[in-house]
Structure 1
Amino acid sequence: MAYGQKILKLAFTQSLFGLALSLLLFSLLPDIVTADEYDYYSWQSDNFHNGRFYTKQPQCVDIPADLRLCHNVGYKKMRLPNLLDHETMPEVKQQAGSWVPLLAKRCHADTQVFLCSLFAPVCLDRPIYPCRSLCEAVRDSCAPVMETYGFPWPEMLSCDKFPIDNDLCIPMQFAGNHATQPPVSKVCPPCDNELKTDNIMEHYCASDFVLKMKIKEVKKEKGDRKLIAAQKKKKVLKQGVLRKKDLKKLTLYIKNGANCPCSQLENLGSNFLIMGRKVDQQLLLMSIHKWDKKSKELKFAIKYMKSHQCPSYHTVFQ
């Protein structure tokens, strides 16, 4: 059964509105799945975060292709406002965009299910939130990856805000079925990125600074990995928060990365494409690629950087 249909079944079979509403939802189920003629719903959310009532009547809209976080989540329609109080699609896209890189890290099989249940909730007559156990499972697996980039698990996703497991919340999809769960990479997260144009541009927009440079030395320091830049001239592709004195004695860190593999750092003879963020006065490495002159993907990305206008992401995870 498709994920979207699971949620629909969950909603109408155990609804608190009783058997009459359940029968009504059952009779409309095929239409809700397609949802073409049901553009508006009459409910008003009793958002459990703050008891807020939305000013706009909730809509059922297509999940757009450029909402990359949720476009392939398993259902085609979502509600606005969503469950994070975003009332317009541009706002949803802006806020959701900063979470796309986390999916690529495969820290938990249910990461997309959890995030999209909030950013792009399925169209139903009432809000259905993720279960607390789903939040806790994703948090416990993904928070360490986020911390590598200098981001804590955000308060807006605090798991104690979500309902204790029952029939009216979205449970884990892969609980007890480890065979279907994608493998979790043990590679240092900044080192585990494909040299693809889209991937490079996502990290470019999410980074405070981007450089072409050489690395002189790599050390371990208090559980982190410390990258000391060579004194040779560095090419600045995005300066951001970097000052001239930062560039002169540039030191980068991979948080909690002292012992994880990073194949790019096994041979320091080449130039590197370095992307990073400044967090608490430290420069953290977000992504590293060897500078491959033959790579068409890299060439296109570097050319694209000159004219690309990055969205103003909300800084949760980037």
Structure 2
Amino acid sequence: MELVTIDDIKAAADRVRDFAVRTPLLPATWADPDRPLWIKPENLQPIGAFKIRGAFNTLARLDEPVRARGVVAYSSGNHAQAVAYAARTYGIPAYIVMPEDTPSVKVEKTRSYGAEVVLCPVGKREEYADDLVEKTGAVLVPPFDHPDVIAGQGTAGLEIAFDLPDVETVLVPVSGGGLASGVGTAIRALCPHARIYGVEPELAADATEGLAAGHRVDWPVADRNRTIADGLRSQPSDLTFAHLRKVVDGMITVTEDEIREAMRVLAYKSHLVTEPSGATAVAAYLKGAVPAGRTAAIVSGGNVNPQMLREILTA
């Protein structure tokens, strides 16, 4: 299996430069001085999440006649918005499959970019997407299981390496594993002494279990859907799992309460609105699971349901 390289990620950076925001590394002034923390706020991207990087890199790599047929994606929200936004930029159709339990804020935003949204039963996303590809002739843009998607997400790692070359620990949320695969590849190449940790909710810790076992494991959808971190309910593919085995030093799991507390800290102390999935890396830092040293944590997204945000911030 051919893995994404640092050259792939550097090429992706050139393609997405005009579309993805180069988010800064924000120092967390409230952090432990022995474990200084910098936050990579991908919630500040135009669509509110890092997924814009992989979407634009993938669409840019398509031949123009192929791209003109349109794109299909399946996603619980952030990849959906990213593909819809990129498709609108290119002036092509987008057909997006979203589970029926997707937060309404993500469904509405995806439609606002001009995409045709198809809601499906939980666990049927891929099946519905395959049907749409067959019916429309559009191209499938998977949420993580594609080298161009992984390379695009890896551009966030390039930026961390440039802004904090002496980083000692990097914390990355893990769902399907595309972000951690790309960022891990970039950090491993440019900051070889840094430690890279993936972070998952305890209630969706399939990657943690799989990496410990040395092979992918399957958790039922119903089990993974227990976590409030709806963006972290997917499982790694063979491709992303191979990347994770190569670039991740370890996994950290966080509880639902630790995720909620991280959202509160980010809102009140760093002035950042995050969704539960986006707060998991900071949750890992806050629980003290990170070694001493300079740490960078990726806040992967901020598309949170307003009612959920109110409940968490006022708890």
Same fold (TM over 0.5): no
Instruction: Name the structure where helix makes up a greater proportion of residues.
Output: 2
- Calculate the TM-score normalised by the size of structure 1: 0.28
The structure with the larger Rg is 1
- Calculate the TM-score normalised by the size of structure 2: 0.28
